Amino acid sequence: MRTETKGTWAGKRRDRILIVDDDRDARELIASVLAEAGYTVEVAEDGYAAIEKLGTVRPDLVLTDLRMPGLNGVDLAQRIRAQGDLPVILTTGAETHDLCTGAEAYGAVACLTKPINLDELLWTIETALACRAGAASAVANA
């Protein structure tokens, strides 16, 4: 499993990211990469565990698999977005890539296809967090 990235991401941020994926190996790989890049990482094995974790943890972004048993990534994204402006990024296997087309309609800011390009993942996270920070700054200065 590849955990190195070509970018210069390490240590740039201290944001908290909640990773939701029913595939333990995928969850652990992404958690390792994000921790190495300087993020604080929380994990949940499915949508229901994520909802429970959101009751106690305040992440800055949620990265969730689209297809999971029980509460899937689309339903999770919609529930999260109904509660506020927390960015959600969906991930999906190639066979469900067509579901990515309407990611924004689900409340997600982006959708990435597995296997995930780690540099693209880090860039997407950085962009989503920067947009959120910019929006919060604009509201505070209004």
Give the highest mean pLDDT range of 58-62, 71-75, 135-139: 58-62
Q: Domain 16-140 falls in which CATH fold?
A: Rossmann fold (3.40.50)
pTM score, two decimals? 0.84
Residue 98 or 1, more confident: 98
Amino acid at 53: K
Q: How confident is the model at residue 97 (pLDDT cuts 50, 70, 90)?
A: low
Q: How confident is the model at residue 10 (pLDDT cuts 50, 70, 90)?
A: very low
Q: How confident is the model at residue 93 (pLDDT cuts 50, 70, 90)?
A: confident
Q: Which helix (H) or strand (E) holds 111?
A: strand 110-113
User: pLDDT by residue (tens digit) across 104-127?
Assistant: 777 889 989 888 999 999 999 999
Dihedral through CA 49, CA 54, CA 55, CA 56, nearest 10?
Answer: 100
| Mean of pLDDT values over 69-88 | 91
How many C-beta neighbours within 10 Å does residue 61 have?
22
Over pLDDT 70: what percentage of the chain? Answer: 79
Comparing C-alpha atoms, which of 75, 3, 17, 83 is closest to residue 46? 75
What the block records as the tokens of 38 is 């300087």
